[in-house]
Amino acid sequence: MENFNVAIIGCGTVGSGVAKILLDMQNELSVRANQKIVLKSIVDIYPAKSAQTYNIPLNLFKGGGKDLSKEEASKYIDEVIADKSINLIVESIGGTSDFLLNKMLDTLKAKKHLVTANKAILAEQGKALFNSAKENNVCLGYEASVCGAIPIIKSIRESFAGDQVMEISGIMNGTSNYILSKMQEEGLDFATALKMAQEMGYAEADPTLDISGGDAGHKLAILIKLAFGTDVKYNDLMLTGIQKVGKEDLDFANEMGCTIKLICYARKIDGKIIATVKPMMVKYDNFLSKVSGATNCVQLVNKYSGTHYFIGKGAGSLETASSIVADIVFSARYNDRIQNITESDILQLVSSDNVEFAYNITFATVDYPGITGLVTTAIGEQHINIDTVSHNRHNKERAIFSVATMPCTLEQIKKAIAQIRLKAPSALIEEPKIIPILK
């Protein structure tokens, strides 16, 4: 049995998990790959700290186990890339720097397979990486980049090769889902729920990427490229975070038989793609409404096989590492027979403003007789059918109520709000909050 040698660059939370699995399961993985999978080298700036996590032998680390400067680490990475005996490199440094992109491209140009969980660089620079992998006939494995241990990439690429994905919706950020779950289940405000998420280790000290929708947007961009065969620019996605979700929103959602989730949504319609990441009210009879805590779940609607759900842990050292190791085994087993992702369609990404959705609109108004009627009349004048109107919550001279619509366009709603301002310029105390309803 031939050796299939692996190197890891960056041995933090994820990289150390990969090392542990490769060492613990070497025999089983080698049988599955039909080659002896050997962890040959690791490059990390703090090897002693990395080794301690899972008792990884220090002799595997470049530099003899001593801490490295950035310059030394760069030199050792170049050595690994130049080492003809190494078949595959695992990138787990993270980030989107030019330095990292160039090292990844150098790896592919050296005819080495590359496996990464780096969703950000794939979403922002994926085209260059995938093109290089194709040109050099090597594999770019990225199963771990979307939802950790959930095998969503392989399912779309392989299991649904005889079908066509029409719609993607899902909860792809565990931090945001944990925060919203705590707000809904325990009545916490956003700040308290965020602090709890940080204490539990689900949120970083700077949680901006998670709560702003950025992390989820990276994952959605990758899935759009895979499922719809077109390169959507991450910066072109419409992203709205959860920072402004308040208690009233959750109360109104509950009245309508919904919960609020940060939803990644993409749909192919009339040769175009609509895609967004934003808080949505999810009906209780939709399975996504039942996904709580830091769990991830992706829903695919296919043309022929219907609806499918993929649920599991979307992050974590060993969870993410297990997906990376699966890509290593796949690369070792199939080698030069690998089919990399390619663009099959050039579909235009269009605004969702003119696509029909059901919406919930929350109004904070001056509290005087007839205000609800004024608002609903303006909505009706835009040919929007109203589903329900909530109870009016009075707070001193302030009234808060919500209007749930039947499917309409965001453009219609914006015109209705403009009409309310025209008829009663001082009525709206705050900008109305518009949340799509996912049925």
Q: Is the dihedral of CA 53, 55, 58, 60 positive or negative?
A: negative
In 3D space, the residue among 185, 294, 191 whose CA is nearest the CA of residue 245 turns out to be 191
Token output for 170: 């899902």
More confident residue, 283 or 439: 283
SS3 assignment, position 370? coil
Contacts of 413 (CB under 8 A, 6+ apart): 359, 361, 379, 382, 384, 405, 434
Calculate mean pLDDT across residues 96-117. Answer: 97
Is the separation of the CB atoms in 182 and 200 below 8 Å?
no
pTM metric for this prediction: 0.93
Tokens of 353: 């403003």
How do 358-366 and 398-405 pair as beta strands? antiparallel
- Type of residue at 430: E
Enter the tokens of residue 180. 């919203």
Is 340's pLDDT higher than 70? no
- Is pLDDT above 80 for 42? yes
Helix (H) or strand (E) holding 297: strand 295-302
What is the reported pLDDT for 6?
A: 98
- Half-sphere exposure for 160 (CA within 13 Å, toward CB): 23
pLDDT value at residue 391: 83
pLDDT of residue 339: 62
Helix ranges restricted to H, 359-409: 371-381
pLDDT, one tens digit per residue, over 122-179 is: 999 999 999 999 999 999 999 999 999 999 999 999 899 999 999 999 999 999 999 9
Task: Please give the positions annotated as active site.
Answer: 219
Taking residue 183's Cβ as centre, other Cβ atoms within 10 Å add up to 23
Token pair in block for residue 384 = 């929007």
User: Across the chain, what does the average pLDDT equal?
Assistant: 93
Pick the range with the lowest mean pLDDT from 14-28, 80-94, 219-233.
219-233
Instruction: Read off the pLDDT of each residue in 354-367 and give the average, rounded to a whole number.
Output: 92
Q: What is the mean pLDDT of residues 210-225?
A: 96
Segments in 187-316 forming alpha helices (H): 190-199, 208-211, 214-228, 247-255
Q: What is the pLDDT of residue 40?
A: 97
pLDDT score recorded for residue 355: 84
Percent of the chain surpassing pLDDT 70? 97
Mean pLDDT of 291-301: 96
Between vectors from CA 233 to CA 228 and to CA 236, what angle results, nearest 5°?
110
Q: What is the pLDDT of residue 231?
A: 86
Average pLDDT of 189-201?
94
Split at pLDDT 50, 70, 90, the class of 335 is confident
Set out the domains of the chain in order of their start, with CATH numbers.
Answer: 3-148+318-337 (3.40.50.720), 153-313 (3.30.360.10), 353-438 (3.30.70.260)
Predicted local confidence at residue 343, as pLDDT: 59
pLDDT digits (tens, 9 = 90+) for 303-334: 999 999 999 988 889 999 999 999 999 999 98
